[in-house]
Amino acid sequence: MNANGRCDVERDKQREARRRAKGRLVKERITKEDGRYLIYYTFERSAGDGDSTGSPGATSDTHTTAGGRGSVPGEEG
């Protein structure tokens, strides 16, 4: 039992399922027209979860350059 009195086995099974659901982190980096970078983070689900393949915990990183977009507004900070 854990600190809250719940069954560890049940909790571990639930966590394992959720870890699989989280998927593999994939980065795609682009450069905007004004020179700032932007990174898309996506999470590829494993084959067992019915999505694309990938090993949990690994990170891939691709780099592309954006083009054809107009000026962009700013953000607070």
Partner 1 sequence: MSELRWNPVLGEWVVTATHRQDRTYHPPADFCPLCPTRPGAPPTEVPAEDYEIVVFENKFPSFRRVPPEPSVEGDDLYEVQPSKGICEVVLYSANHKGSLAMSDVVDIARLIDVWADRYEELGSLDYVDYVLIFENKGDVIGVTLEHPHGQIYAFPFIPPRPARELENAERHWRSTRRCLFCDIIGRETRDGRRIVAQNEEFVAAVPFFARYPYEVHILPRRHAPSLLDLGDDERWGLAEILKAVLQKYDNLFGFPLPYIMVMHQAPTDGREYPHYHYHIEFYPPNRTKTKLKYLAGCESGAGTFINDTLPEETAATLRATPPCDL
Instruction: Determine the Cα–Cα distance for residues 27 and 33; give it in Å rounded to an integer.
Output: 19
Q: Does residue number 7 form part of the binding site for partner 1 (CB under 8 A)?
A: no
Least distance from C-beta 64 to partner 1, angstroms? 11
Compute how many other C-beta atoms are within 10 angstroms of the C-beta atom of residue 24.
Answer: 19
Least distance from C-beta 59 to partner 1, angstroms? 7
Q: How many residues bind partner 1 (CB under 8 A)?
A: 35
To which H or E segment does residue 10 belong? helix 8-22
Q: Does residue number 13 form part of the binding site for partner 1 (CB under 8 A)?
A: no
Instruction: Determine the Cα–Cα distance for residues 60 and 24; give it in Å rounded to an integer.
Output: 9
Q: Binding string to partner 1 for residues 32 to 71, with x set by CB under 8 A, is what? A: x-x-xxxxxxxx------------xx-x------x--xxx
